[in-house]
Amino acid sequence: MRRSIFPILVVLSIAAVLIFLARQRIWTESGLEGACKEKTQAYFVAKRGIPTDWTPSMLSKLGEGVMSFYGSWRVGTKHYDVMCSARYGTPIASVGYEIGEPK
């Protein structure tokens, strides 16, 4: 009987962690920087690149509780500027990002 309950408990535990992560929100500038770094790093890894040398460069506060964060990655021999933006209180999963052309 224990063997049949164990997989159910594992699935429920994973679901609880995913729900928790989906509900995390951006409340600080450093929170946006972390989300920006993670999301853009995942983008490059998905494109089969290995991003290195994360360089945070600037935070910009726009009106109405909106902030943008700028940084750059080196992927191979090329450098990419990235920009992420979010409103205060936005879930991390909803942070938007843009990847610039390689330099």
66-75 and 78-87 beta bridge pairing: antiparallel
Tokens of 62: 């726009």
- What confidence score (pLDDT) does residue 61 get? 83
Domains along the sequence of the chain with CATH: 25-99 (3.10.450)
- pTM to 2 decimals? 0.74
Share of the chain above pLDDT 90, in %: 52
Q: Which helix (H) or strand (E) holds 5?
A: helix 2-23
Euclidean distance between CA atoms 14 and 64, whole angstroms: 36
Tokens of 72: 């750059």
Euclidean distance between CA atoms 96 and 77, whole angstroms: 25
pLDDT tens per residue, range 13-55: 666 655 665 568 888 888 899 999 999 999 999 998 999 999 9
Reduced to 3 states (helix: H, G, I; strand: E, B; else coil), residue 83 is: strand
